[in-house]
Amino acid sequence: MACMSVIHELSRTLPKGNVLTGEENTRPFECDGLSVYRQKPLAVVLPQSVEQIKQVLKICKAHNTPVVTRGAGTGLSGGAMP
């Protein structure tokens, strides 16, 4: 149930549509160009500002939730994988 708690708090903090959940929405984020290794994310968070990034990291830290960051996704070698 702790997973739902962090998702709920992130959803309350960020604008609508910036927290993606469910297999259909998170599937594109399971891997980068190195598609051999896939990891299903609990959620995908799309912050739009430095302040939102800070809020996301604070919430995840409070819930002991690991974070895997990804920038523009230009690397194809698994750099964004946990």
Q: Say which CATH topology domain 2-62 has.
A: 3.30.43
Share the mean pLDDT of the chain: 86
pLDDT digits (tens, 9 = 90+) for 33-49: 767 778 888 899 999 99
Domain ranges of the chain: 2-62
For residue 26, the 8-state DSSP code is H
Q: pTM for the whole thing?
A: 0.80
Q: What is the mean pLDDT of residues 21-29?
A: 91
Q: Is 10 exposed, middle or buried (0-12, 13-18, 19+ CB in 10 A)?
A: buried
Decide: helix, strand or coil at residue 45: strand
CA distance 32 to 39: 10
pLDDT band, residue 14 (cuts 50/70/90): very high
Task: Check whether 61 has a pLDDT greater than 80.
Answer: yes
Q: What is the mean pLDDT of residues 64-81?
A: 72
